[in-house]
Amino acid sequence: MFNLHLSLHPEVQAALLENRPVVALESTIIAHGMPFPQNVETALRVEKMVRESGATPATCAIIGGKLTAGLRTDEIELLGKEGAKIPKASRRDLAYLVSQGKHGATTVASTMMIAHLADIRIFATGGIGGVHRGAATTMDISADLQELAQTPVAVVSAGAKSILDLGLTLEYLETMGVPVVGYQTEDFPAFYTRRSGFGVDFRLDSPMEIANLLKSKWEIDPRGGVLIANPVPEEHQLDADWMEKTIAEAVAEAEKQGIRGKAITPFLLATIENLTGGRSLQTNIELVLNNVRLGAEVAVALWRTEPVK
């Protein structure tokens, strides 16, 4: 658990020392994924839900150059209020931000890294990054996929963000040997909608079944993670055809403005929110809460199986 650059909130440290279940949470969703004040409100609701489900929340970020697992409320508020002024930090950015003593909002990839350093096995988020549309020419592929291939943390998400090329994203995960588990579904969810038309590798119907798979996976090979695909609740999903048209319009606008690199996902999410009159934001909030609930249940189940260290 010890690392020179790692800082643990006392609540998180106590839970880890006492071998109690902990769930990692990302902070890019706070600084870049939602507007203020919904971002702070959602982050605090998420942490409350983890606690009510029997686990300890560990929201991750870089605070003053420290890789931090577990944030104080004032730190969450700082990320929410500063928003895009806080650097979006993936794997490549960590050394720079740490060496400069700066803040950073962690992506899926960097949250997985911090969770692994802290010996946290379960991480719940909204949706992972993946292969972007047009990647055959842009080579825009999220570092999240490589992190899943090499870092032993299970990620609970509503699939991959539907702004991506979901087929190529799943092909990449298959090539890298990352199991994609559908929770009570055989269809890979598409973030705002429950179905994408693509299948998952395995369907499991309970948190304990998922915990047993994770335990077996890491006993066989301690490397690499697992993607747990948890569809957005049916009452909160958006119409698939409408969302596809909306996403295409947002992608076209990004191309028109020359938006590239790490700026593309926040731009697309904000544009989609505007085009849907805020409905996409509400769905985003609900799917995050749904994923966090499942993440906590899996963390508790894994703890009951005597999790592998």
Instruction: Give catalytic residues, as residue numbers.
Output: 26, 161
End-to-end CA distance of the chain: 11
**Cα–Cα distance measured from residue 7 to residue 114, given in angstroms and rounded to the nearest whole number:** 10
**Is residue 303 a contact partner of residue 21, using CB atoms and an 8 Å limit?**
yes
SS3 306: coil
Residues in the chain: 309
Half-sphere exposure of 300 (CA within 13 A, CB side): 16
**Cα–Cα distance measured from residue 158 to residue 284, given in angstroms and rounded to the nearest whole number:** 9
- Please return the burial class of 231, using the count of CB atoms within 10 Å of its CB with bins 0-12, 13-18 and 19+: buried
For the record, the structure tokens of 209 come out as 């079944």
Q: How many CB atoms lie within 10 A of CB 119?
A: 14
Q: How many CB atoms lie within 10 A of CB 164?
A: 26
